[in-house]
Amino acid sequence: MATKNLHRGSDDPPKRRLPPLLRKTWYSMNQAFRRRIASSGATPDQFTILRTLNEHEPDGLTQFELAELLASDPNTISSLLKRMTKSGLVDRKRHERDRRALRVRITSDGEKLFKELREVALDLQTQLMNAIEPERREQFLADLETIAEAANQIARQKGQTQIVPKPK
């Protein structure tokens, strides 16, 4: 039986498809960074947590706030934070107003590691951004931020489940 050509509209093969390109970009960038920081014992996800904590209030963030900021699953964040606490990169204490929440803070060891890894991250970012003409870089980042925010808003919408029939 001949397969129907399902490649129409914005998913037409000659046109660029957003999800595969974003996935390929993220995966390749993540792997390049992982290789560059392997000797530190840290992972790209741990660096992202250290960066996020470094960029926010010195009092720290709750695990929920971290999960929201990183667009990640709370269980994944919790697991990462347990390993990072054991390594002395962060500490977690009960929130002063919400006893159910934990406030996460970067430690001095975490700050030191962040500063070392940040240099590697900036070098990689510079290499990647050099693929784009200098006058287009800021617009590219602004457009990417717009796409990320739109995807985040769509992901948060309730009642958007669609029924897709199973293949026969």
Q: Report pLDDT for 15.
A: 62
d(CA 88, CA 167): 49
C-alpha 77 chain-centroid distance: 11
Closest CA to 40 of 92, 84, 106, 82: 84
Closest CA to 89 of 104, 107, 75, 102: 107
- Answer for the pair 118, 51: CB distance below 8 angstroms, yes or no: yes
Per-residue pLDDT of the chain (168 residues; tens, 9 = 90+): 444 555 556 556 656 688 889 999 999 999 999 999 999 999 999 999 999 999 997 888 988 899 989 988 889 999 999 999 999 999 998 877 777 778 899 999 999 999 999 999 999 999 999 999 999 999 999 999 999 999 888 888 876 666 667 777
The DSSP element (H or E) to which 61 belongs, if any, is strand 61-62
Q: Report pLDDT for 11.
A: 59
What's the order of all strands across the beta sheet hosting 61-62? 61-62, 102-106, 90-94
Instruction: Walk me through the domains of the chain, giving residue ranges and CATH numbers.
Output: 43-154 (1.10.10.10)
Return all residues near 89 (Cβ < 8 A) that are at least 6 apart. Answer: 42, 46, 50, 106, 107, 109, 110, 113
d(CA 78, CA 104): 11
d(CA 46, CA 89): 9
- Answer for the pair 54, 46: CB distance below 8 angstroms, yes or no: no
Phi-psi region for residue 71, left (φ > 0), alpha (ψ -120 to 50) or beta?
left
